[in-house]
Amino acid sequence: MKPLIVANWKMNPTTLEGAKLLFEAVKKEVKNIKKVEIVICPPFTFLSNIQYPISNIKLGAQDCFWEEKGAFTGEISPLMLKNLGCEYIIIGHSERRKLGETDEMINKKIKAVITAKLKPILCIGETEKERKLGKTFQMLKDQLKDDLKNLTSKTYNLKPLVIVYEPVWAIGTGNPCSSKEAKKVFLFLQKFFGKVPVLYGGSVNSENAASYIHEANFQGLLVGGASLNPKEFIKIIKSVAQS
């Protein structure tokens, strides 16, 4: 599998013009790079404006609801996102968990995404406190057990599932988890999910990006802050594609 590099723009930028500028700047430089698959996840409001027929850049969303349609004020369904050209949907990001998203909700969302024939990118990770207490592996195990409850290969097609290890303490802090430490988690997760691609996320930049892929063997990256800086994001993509 080609390394998957996912840009999570979070709640940025604030204008369509800004979103188009950011997307075009990245597209111009990476459209001929075939060694990686790039997924851009802008806010919902820009999804329909930055669609593009490019084979190595896919569109993703940052969340979705678990029902297909109906009386659910303010929600967006996987089917709606699919109809806009999305292929991937990030589910269970720690910034959403912090605001009250539960494992039960995440579980329903993953099922809905797979049912819609889209690819869920499930985020898991321990907090600083859990890490200090030596509970990282237990925490990841518990999250996976609940988030993937009743999702067996008999009932769901698990092929599209992607897991991201995102230590909460490394997100947006400029304090990444070293590739050496992250590798231990990667090997732990591989024991459970041999075939599921596992990505790393948390303060990824152009200096450390390649180390997660080539030293720790992750199958890709989830990039937040650095994906809003086209020069830095392009460098990340090139560093992974070249090494």
8 binds ligand PGA (CB under 6 A): yes
Sole binder of ligand PGA in the list 203, 208, 211, 239 (CB under 6 A): 203
For position 230 contacting ligand PGA by CB under 6 A, the verdict is no
Which of 37, 93, 126, 130 is catalytic? The answer is: 93
Q: Does 201 bind ligand PGA (CB under 6 A)?
A: yes
Least distance to ligand PGA from the beta carbon of 63, Å?
A: 12
What is the C-alpha separation between 47 and 214, in angstroms, rounded?
32
Is 126 a residue of the active site?
Answer: no
Q: Of 86, 89, 182, 204, which lies in the binding site for ligand PGA, with binding defined by CB under 6 A?
A: 204
Judge whether 72 and 65 are in contact, CB under 8 Å: yes
Interaction between residue 179 and ligand PGA (CB under 6 A): no
Nearer to ligand PGA, 112 or 199 (CB): 199
163 near 194, Cβ under 8 Å?
Answer: no
- Give the DSSP letter string of the chain: ---EEEEE--S--SSHHHHHHHHHHHHHHHTT--SSEEEEE--GGGTTTS----TTEEEEES---SSSSSS-TT---HHHHHHTTEEEEEE--HHHHHTT--HHHHHHHHHHHHHTT-EEEEEE---HHHHHTT-HHHHHHHHHHHHTTT--TTTS--TT-EEEE--GGGTTSS-PPPHHHHHHHHHHHHHH-TTS-EEEESS--TTTHHHHHHTS--SEEEESGGGGSHHHHHHHHHHHHH-
Instruction: Give the nearer residue to ligand PGA in terms of CB position, either 8 or 107.
Output: 8
Residue nearer to ligand PGA on the CB measure, 12 or 115: 12
Among candidate residues 87, 130, 166, 215, the one labeled active-site is 166
Which residue stretch of 14-22, 153-161, 222-230, 234-242 sits at the interface with ligand PGA (rule: CB under 6 A)? 222-230
The residue number with the shortest CB distance to ligand PGA is: 224
| Shortest Å, Cβ 78 to ligand PGA | 20
Binding pattern to ligand PGA, positions 149-178, x when CB under 6 A?
-----------------x----xx------
Question: Is 1 or 11 the residue whose CB approaches ligand PGA more closely?
Answer: 11
Would you tell me how many other CB atoms lie within 10 Å of the CB of residue 207? 12
Q: Show the CA angle centred on residue 235, arms to residues 234 and 239, nearest 5°.
A: 120
Is residue 214 part of the annotated active site? The answer reads no
| Least distance between ligand PGA and beta carbon 204 (Å) | 5
To the nearest whole angstrom, how small is the minimum distance from the Cβ of residue 125 to ligand PGA? 9
List contacts with ligand PGA (CB under 6 A): 8, 166, 171-172, 201-204, 222-226
Which are the catalytic amino acids? 93, 166
